[in-house]
Amino acid sequence: MRIVVAVVGRLKQGPERELAERYRKRAADAGRSAGLSAFDIVEIKESRAGDAARRMLEESIAIANVIPDRAVTVILDERGESMSSASFAGRLQGWRAQDVPAIVFIIGAADGLAPSLRDKANLAIAFGAATWPHQLVRIMLLEQLYRAVTILAGHPYHRS
């Protein structure tokens, strides 16, 4: 199973990019023993359209173009479901057991995602009710993916 993090915008060189890459690499390394074949980040260029609706539409179309066939899509949204790390790992395990070829985690820009893309998502998750900067959401998602694959690989989880 392939994991893709599709995110609108780029992280500039610096500590945020380094931390995100550290968790991506850790997740990829640990993921091999948990049945994950690849762990990719796809950065989508931010739209320069003048109005928010047009920006959301253009960015959502670009995201839709990187979603593989039969992939499960998960959007990060403050209105989404909050779940524990163990529950998150359980979702990944369930999709892996169903032979899902890929899971695409989608982080939109500040304006959000077009309703057409949001409505097609298999799951919406939130990291609490607060609004987080997109750079931090990316890092938090990558850390949770790393934590989930270590749980799936059988490493002891300190909260069990």
In a domain, 160, yes or no: no
In a domain, 114, yes or no: yes
**For position 34, which CATH number holds?**
3.40.1280.10
**pLDDT at position 157:** 62
Count of the separate structural domains present in the chain: 1
Residue 92 and residue 147 in contact, taking contact as beta carbons nearer than 8 Å: no
User: How far, CA to CA in Å, does 111 sit from each of 49, 76, 108?
Assistant: 12, 13, 7
> Three-state SS for 44?
strand
In a domain, 159, yes or no: no
In a domain, 157, yes or no: no
In a domain, 72, yes or no: yes
Mean pLDDT of successive 10-residue stretches along the chain, which has 160 residues:
95 93 94 85 95 95 96 94 94 94 95 93 93 91 95 72
**pLDDT at position 131:** 84
Tokens of 1: 């199973």
**pLDDT at position 36:** 85
pTM of the model: 0.94
In a domain, 70, yes or no: yes
**pLDDT at position 141:** 97
In a domain, 121, yes or no: yes
**What angle, 0 to 180 degrees and rounded to 10, lies between the N-to-C axes of helices 15-31 and 134-152?**
20
- Closest C-alpha to 77, from 94, 90, 65, 60: 60
pLDDT digits (tens, 9 = 90+) for 84-122: 999 999 999 999 999 999 999 999 998 999 999 999 999
**pLDDT at position 100:** 95
**pLDDT at position 37:** 83
In a domain, 118, yes or no: yes
Q: Which range marks the domain in which residue 135 is found?
A: 2-152
